[in-house]
Amino acid sequence: MATRNAIHPHHNLPAAHRHRPPAATTAVHQNFTIGKNSHQKPSNKAIKLAESLSNMLNLHIETTIQRSLNRSTNLNVLSIEEKHNTPAKSPKEDISEKWREIHGSRDWEDLLDPIHPWLRREIVKYGEFAQATYDAFDFDAFSEYCGSCSYNRHKLFAKLGLTESGYKVTKYIYAMSHIDLPQWIEKSRFADTWSKDSNWMGFVAVSDDEESQRIGRRDIAVAWRGTVAPSEWYDNMQRKLEPIGQGDSKVEHGFLSIYTSKSDTTRYNKSSASEQVMLEVKRLINYYQNRSEQVSLTITGHSLGGALALLNAYEAAMNFPNLPISVVSFAAPRVGNIAFRDELYQMGVKTLRVTLKQDVVPRMPGIVFNESLQKFDDFTGTLEWVYTHVGVELKLDVRTSPYLKKGLNLVGFHMLETYLHLVDGFCSSGSCFRVDAKRDVALVNKDCDMLVDELRIPHNWYQLANKGLERNHHGRWVKPKRDPEDIPSPTVESHAGKVFDEMPERYGVGSLYGV
Amino acid sequence: MATRNAIHPHHNLPAAHRHRPPAATTAVHQNFTIGKNSHQKPSNKAIKLAESLSNMLNLHIETTIQRSLNRSTNLNVLSIEEKHNTPAKSPKEDISEKWREIHGSRDWEDLLDPIHPWLRREIVKYGEFAQATYDAFDFDAFSEYCGSCSYNRHKLFAKLGLTESGYKVTKYIYAMSHIDLPQWIEKSRFADTWSKDSNWMGFVAVSDDEESQRIGRRDIAVAWRGTVAPSEWYDNMQRKLEPIGQGDSKVEHGFLSIYTSKSDTTRYNKSSASEQVMLEVKRLINYYQNRSEQVSLTITGHSLGGALALLNAYEAAMNFPNLPISVVSFAAPRVGNIAFRDELYQMGVKTLRVTLKQDVVPRMPGIVFNESLQKFDDFTGTLEWVYTHVGVELKLDVRTSPYLKKGLNLVGFHMLETYLHLVDGFCSSGSCFRVDAKRDVALVNKDCDMLVDELRIPHNWYQLANKGLERNHHGRWVKPKRDPEDIPSPTVESHAGKVFDEMPERYGVGSLYGV
């Protein structure tokens, strides 16, 4: 049993440990970097042992989840019908005085447990940007635009009911991968597709004047899309670390490939996701700093998207040393090694990592080779090959919500909407679901079956009428052509080769969003 | 091999045999009724043998289907996009001069192979009534109206695009069963449901003046709904015959139970489906015969619905000896024994049985104990326990349509929309798909995955936007209340205890449909 406990990820650190200042943490871990050959890989024997431990662990996870969740729910707290006529969002307060702390300047010390309502509202705001990358994604393999965003960036928020977010989307990001990765890309079944190689992977947005006033600075937000099949992705993935930056930092090679791959033969990735996002962020920073505005960068993403957010933050911190940069990730797996984490800390990147106790993805990769292996140093050789998490954890628990089913549901436990629901209801660790939570509970079941039956919300309800087919005047069911303005176009989408300075006059104040 | 061939259902009878006059067929079969104890059941040994033969047969079906269908399709004939701007229905001709033959008075002799276009058009018309019973059915277990029709009868055809059918729905039929049958009923998960016991099972409609003129008589149409899980239904079903009528006729007890069950404790089946339909048919016959009109009855249904259609026809023939009665069934299983069939023939009921070579359901029940057992008389004892088909067969073949996938697809092969597509393209046995077929091909994929990928029609596309959830003005996703006029009501629906004569004055000419 000692063995099993030893490899258990440290999800239950007391608050004091969780908020330990980065420098201290780094020091502790460095004591364990005992290997001499820094590129030494774990031995075969170690891998074998690790694999069998991994299996045990998986088993352990499942049985404990099932045991602990098989309690019945108290449904008296449910009054969803009464809520139908109340606003579906918590109010936004003026946080301009306190924005740096909310943005993580003090590692969210004293803001997380109990959670500060302003912080909670901001986490939901960014989470909804990440959710938008799923909601607008064209998953239809029969569509020639499969893998793209269904709407152009000017319409995106309006189509998703996010017009009140206070942000405008300024750029879409596309990604490809040179490595053959399982299940990460969605492709049209047909040859005449908008892109054979790339997927829409997220967007850059910027706060408008009103929102900027409320939050005390001009905020550039980047949202990264994840994948729909997270467990297959992580299960099949080759867990291989590759160097990033100039030091000892290493990150998972699949994530890095998606972030950095490009090819001249593609339409949407003549520049990589990395180059696309950095160029746009740079353009916006220059633009607003020229106007003497305080600027911040907040990067968000769920699952794979959370991993990309961290790579993006690392690169942005390298390029913009004085910019306040935060990551708000949901259900993100481990991304890199301890040196990667330490470098992020040293550069001042703040990461708020929202996890769910019952979700297995945040334990991957590195479900075996992770930070807890310091107790296993006899067979790890070097911690350079050990994955570790970054930042401060906000840990949610399915059992706190009376609206959620408690049975094992690996898909439902991982869904971003489940996370957002639990963030909205979070007060403090150990306390009950917030009575005055306002977010629409029905959203949880968009793509899973997590809501208790009594709510009468169908599972997986997020779907188009007749999968997009419409009846024409002859009564024939046809797929309407996509609105031409929503058809992706490499010339419109790509800023490759352009920098802000070279842009025409119409890129003035009023037309910043109007490209 | 002789054994296996012997139990093969007679789907390949030459046309001459298929159109054999009923009387002759009866005589042939009677020669084989050699058992002395008419209630003797097959011996255990026989059942064992039959079971193993059944397994062999199932295996045989699957391998032969797969072998014969693995040919590639010639897709040059596909020009679905060109068809987008053409009418989706074949024109309706004036068939008044020939209506009796089209209605089967001469057992469709010389009308089926090659098929007469007028007959084909009528088969599609009735098939679309049967399809309407699926399309309007509320399958949502989270709906308190699960198991009902989503619309009231006045709106049904308009909602389904059948306004041009030329018929008006006059009555809905509800059914229950005292026998615990597998998978036949859809139920709400909640206690406060419109009905705990009954399902909407079909409707009675009548041709309007214009259509009546075109088809040469006032036609009463009855459409019966089938089930969604046909193979489970038929696989698990107790194959037990029960007496019907006064003679030796016996029918499958599950079908009979659905048709005849009633209970005073229910809201919708204080009278049985049988009583409901017969009362309404009687009312309409009286009404139109009083106006000296020629009246006919045409009963249709798919799968289980086809079985109910036959029971309904039997009862109607008993009650209205001189009424022209036809059944147009799709994918219907065997229903009764040879005496049942003979009695139907003697009463003049005409049955056009549309089957699909690749669909297994029409071979059930009686996949073993069927008419071909006459060659097995050494262990059957008596043919009174042997299921047999009724009427004239129109046999379709998936391989004739260039639009359909040819791989094994038990669900797709059984779907009514697949049948209607193949009827629309049918010319004659052995000939290709009709080039000028007009019915919308996309309909095939409503609830299955049968269309070749090149058509780019999503599979299982028939679905509500967001499963019926709608965003209210607060942005909350809620299930709108059903339109009050579409909520079933036993007082409105039930004619129980009323006869036509007692109905108020407003049941005059103009208000016949206006109850």
Contacts of B94 (CB under 8 A, 6+ apart): B214
Determine whether B329 is an active site residue: no
Residue A309 near residue A332, CB atoms below 8 Å:
yes
Determine whether B303 is an active site residue: yes
Which residues of chain A make contact with B142, given a CB cutoff of 8 A?
453, 456-458
Query: Chain B 69-88, CB below 8 Å of chain A: which residues?
Result: 83-88
CB contact under 8 A, B467 and A463: yes
Query: Which pLDDT band, with edges at 50, 70 and 90, does B323 fall under?
Result: very high
Q: Suggest the residue from A477, A479, A481, A482 to mutate for an interface test with chain B (most B CBs closer than 10 A).
A: A477
Q: Suggest the residue from A143, A420, A456, A462 to mutate for an interface test with chain B (most B CBs closer than 10 A).
A: A456
Neighbours of B440 (CB within 10 A): 25
Q: Suggest the residue from B89, B467, B472, B482 to mutate for an interface test with chain A (most A CBs closer than 10 A).
A: B467
Which residues of chain A make contact with B479, given a CB cutoff of 8 A?
456-457
User: Which position among A103, A253, A302, A414 bears the catalytic label?
Assistant: A414
Please tell me the distance from the alpha carbon of residue B7 to that of residue B367, in angstroms, as a whole number.
8
CB contact under 8 A, B457 and A475: no
Strands in A121-267 per DSSP E: 167-175, 199-207, 218-224, 241-243, 250-252
**Where do we find the tokens 């001069």?**
B97
As averages over each run of 10 residues, the pLDDT of chain A (515 residues) reads 35 37 32 31 46 47 47 48 82 96 98 97 98 96 92 96 95 92 80 90 98 98 82 57 91 92 95 97 97 98 95 98 97 91 96 94 65 50 69 96 92 95 96 92 96 92 95 92 91 50 34 38
Determine whether A197 is an active site residue: no
Q: What is the pLDDT of residue A322?
A: 94
What stretch of H or E contains B169?
strand B167-175
CB contact under 8 A, A84 and B475: no
Residue B61 confidence (pLDDT) above 70 = no
User: Which position among A135, A197, A359, A486 bears the catalytic label?
Assistant: A359
Residue B159 near residue B171, CB atoms below 8 Å:
no
Residue that wins the pLDDT comparison between B36 and A323? A323
Neighbours of B365 (CB within 10 A): 24
Q: What is the pLDDT of residue B368?
A: 53
Q: What Å distances lie between residue B250 and A56, B321, B509, CA to CA?
A: 60, 20, 40
Task: Give the domain ranges of chain A.
Answer: 2-70+89-396+464-502
Which residues of chain A make contact with B188, given a CB cutoff of 8 A?
none
DSSP A341-358: HHHHHHTT-EEEEEEETT
Q: In this complex, how many residue pairs, one in chain A and one in chain B, have their CB atoms less than 8 Å apart?
A: 100
CB contact under 8 A, B476 and A84: yes
User: Which position among B359, B440, B447, B486 bears the catalytic label?
Assistant: B359
Give me the percent of chain B exceeding a pLDDT of 70: 73
Give me the percent of chain B exceeding a pLDDT of 90: 58
Residue B326 near residue B298, CB atoms below 8 Å:
yes
CA distance, residue B96 to nearest chain A CA (Å): 27
- In this structure, of A456-460, B66-70, B106-110, B155-159, the range with the lowest mean pLDDT score is B66-70
B471 touches chain A (CB under 8 A): yes
Query: Chain A 158-177, CB below 8 Å of chain B: which residues?
Result: 161
SS3 A433: coil
Please tell me the distance from the alpha carbon of residue B249 to that of residue B313, in angstroms, as a whole number.
14
User: Which position among B414, B440, B486, B494 bears the catalytic label?
Assistant: B414
Instruction: Report residue B44 as tokens.
Output: 């255990």
ipTM above 0.90, yes or no: no
Please tell me the distance from the alpha carbon of residue A58 to that of residue A364, in angstroms, as a whole number.
11
Instruction: Report residue B59 as tokens.
Output: 């295996």
B2-70+89-396+464-502: what fold? Rossmann fold (3.40.50)
CA distance, residue B485 to nearest chain A CA (Å): 22
What stretch of H or E contains A296?
strand A295-302
Which residues of chain B make contact with A447, given a CB cutoff of 8 A?
none
SS3 B187: coil
